[in-house]
Amino acid sequence: MASLSTISINRPVLATVMSLVIMLFGFIGFSFLGVREFPSVDPPVVTVSTNYVGANSDVIESQITEPLEDAVNGVAGIRTLTSVSREGSSRITVEFELGVDIEAAANDVRDKVSGALNKLPQDVYPPVVEKADADSSPIIFLTVSGGNRNLLELSRIAEVSFKEKLQTIPGVSSVQIWGQRRYSMRLWMDPIRMAALKLAPSDVLQAVNRENVELPSGRVEGNTTELTVRTMGRLSTVEDFNNLIIKESEGDVVRFRDVGNAELYPENDRTILRRDGMPSVALAIVAQPGANTIDISNALYKKLAQIERDLPPDVIYRMSYDSTQYIRASITEVEETIIIAFLLVLGIIFFFLRDWRTTLIPVATIPVSLIGSFFVMYLLGFSINVLTLLAIVLAIGLVVDDAIVVLENIYVKIEEGEEPMEAARKGSMEIYFAVISTTVAVVAVFLPVIFLQGLTGRLFREFGLVVASSVAISAFVSLTLTPMMTSRILKRREQHNWLYRKTEPFFQWLTGSYASALRGFMRRRWVGFLIIGLSVGLIYWIGTTIPSELAPME
């Protein structure tokens, strides 16, 4: 039965097409891969946020935070449970073990919170349960400012001109507005006047709730006409609120202007955002999980160029932070490392083989194996990031090993006088199972990374699988493309080239020195056990003394 190598030698077109198909699928997978700085790691964190306007931190703690904590504490898989109670709001953060399904955990928390609603005050806002993920932080934010415009106007421009258009960019999850001021009607009350008229703030609140309503008023029907009746009950202007009747008794009418005044005012004036000392509003762009942040950034800048043409002359926007700049720099640096590694491998192979024909054969394995690994990354849902690219850097040196072994075994037979076709068949058959065993051994070193637990396991899972897939593809290429190319490219020569003849004495000396050293070592085999024992001791000593951390400082 013919082996895979023999079939490839006899059918060179088939061997070439198989490698081209691997590269084709690699290019297709590459086009769908997202670009990130590091692998996407979704932290299993669920937050429960509750607002209770007007309550101080002690009331929030006793009436909201504690009942919700007692309810949520019964959810399985919780690692830590922390809470913050501040004026008007409660926030509970639930961190789960890394192996917990975040979707199931969030649903369990929602069920527990729903069961505790009857223990909360009646006028509290319903608790909001959210699950956090690695992509929830903004990737880009920019500030909008205007010379003579107040924050209410800038907030309106940011809402209409920027947010509504930027949300349409593919891959954008949401656009948040920081420092936003919303229009509201602020009712200022004079306590002295109110005391003189025997009124309390609650009387004003009741009057607003009573008068500022718009109720359905039914319809008017005729023989040929039907009209819907609308009652204009909403107060919309400052004058409307100032004329609001607060109290009426014995013909005396007390309006709001008698105890205070209404003013169109920002809903929240306790916070402000400044850029270079100038009050501004900021827009933060949040990407969807797994989205290509580089594509989002490119589309954002194109969209901003369109928005700028329609902005008022006195309104300007400035980019404050763009995380894709750091991602681009990191990716570019690793790409440069890939090119350097490829050139070094090419130079070293040529240095030892000293012939461009023989150098070309193992080098052809590199692009096929590396490009093919992109399709594996696509199938596994990985992204192009620093760790996957570092895996490719490492794989450059590994994927040529099998090809060099096959090439060397065939080359020796050609030097012994056999024809290239016959040498390729015999040489590939002899080395067939050696290549498979070597590949399995290398893959077995990196595959256990998928069993690592915790954040480290999540980060290096992509690294290990990319290296393992590259090496597995290289073994297939070494048993198909390499023997075929060897049988067609290598030629039996009576005389080697000038470079080979000039450098051959050095390699003969190198071979002789190694043989002499090996014979001397074999006469004292017991030294090998001492070296192994010493190495194990040094590994243990160095490993226990070196400081450990998740990642080095940049």
The amino acid present at 114, given as its one-letter code, is: S
Question: Using an 8 Å Cβ cutoff, are 400 and 438 in contact?
Answer: no
Q: Cβ distance 431 to 4 under 8 Å?
A: no
C-alpha closest to that of 110 among 64, 51, 68: 68
HSE at residue 292, side-chain half, CA atoms within 13 A, is: 13
Question: Residue 129 corresponds to which tokens in the numbers above?
Answer: 């349960």
Count of Cβ atoms closer than 10 Å to residue 158 Cβ: 27
DSSP, collapsed to helix, strand or coil, labels residue 379 as helix
Cα–Cα dist 370/383, whole Å: 15
DSSP, res 149? -
Tokens 């300007």 belong to residue: 316
Q: What's the pLDDT score for residue 349?
A: 82
pLDDT profile of the chain (554 residues), mean per 10: 78 91 93 81 80 87 91 87 89 83 86 89 86 70 82 85 87 83 87 88 88 82 86 83 85 87 82 81 81 85 88 85 85 84 84 80 86 92 86 86 85 81 86 87 87 78 91 90 85 73 86 91 88 93 86 68
Q: Which residues share a beta bridge with 247?
A: 254
Cα dihedral sign for 277, 283, 284, 290?
A: negative
Query: What angle, 0 to 180 degrees and rounded to 10, lies between the N-to-C axes of helices 386-415 and 365-379?
Result: 140
> Which residue type sits at 296?
I
Tokens, residue 229: 């009746």
Residue whose token pair is 């005044």: 261
The three-state secondary structure class of 426 is helix
How far, in Å, are 143, 157, 283, 307 from residue 160 at the CA level? 15, 5, 12, 11
pTM of model > 0.85: no
What per-residue confidence (pLDDT) applies to 1? Answer: 46
For residue 198, give every residue at least 6 positions away whose Cβ sits within 8 Å of its Cβ, in sequence order, or none.
Answer: none
Asked if 467 and 398 touch (Cβ cutoff 8 Å), the reply is yes
The dihedral sign for the CA sequence 353, 359, 361, 367: positive
Residue 85, phi then psi, degrees to nearest 5: -115, 115
pLDDT for the residue numbered 136: 67
Residue identified by tokens 């050609």 is 414
Q: What is the 3-state secondary structure (H, E, C) of 235-270?
A: CCCHHHHHCCEEEEECCEEEEHHHCEEEEEEECCCC
How many Cβ atoms sit within 10 Å of the Cβ of residue 245?
Answer: 12
Name 14's Cβ contacts closer than 8 Å, sequence gap at least 6: 7, 8
Tokens of 117: 């609603």
Q: How many CB atoms lie within 10 A of CB 213?
A: 11
Query: DSSP character for 288?
Result: P
Cα–Cα distance measured from residue 64 to residue 68, given in angstroms and rounded to the nearest whole number: 6
Phi-psi category of residue 517: left, alpha or beta, with phi > 0 → left and psi -120 to 50 → alpha:
alpha
DSSP string, 73-134: TTSTTEEEEEEEEETTEEEEEEEEPTTS-HHHHHHHHHHHHHHTGGGS-TTSPPPEEEEE-T
Q: Where are the alpha helices (DSSP H) in 146-263?
A: 151-157, 164-166, 191-196, 201-211, 238-242
Whole-number Å distance between alpha carbons of 474 and 480:
10
φ, ψ dihedrals at 285, nearest 5°: -100, 125
For the stretch 230-237, contacts whose Cβ atoms lie closer than 8 Å and that sit 24 or more positions apart, written own/partner, are 235/185, 235/208, 235/211
Question: Which residues are bridge partners to 81 per DSSP?
Answer: 94
The confidence score (pLDDT) of residue 414 equals 82
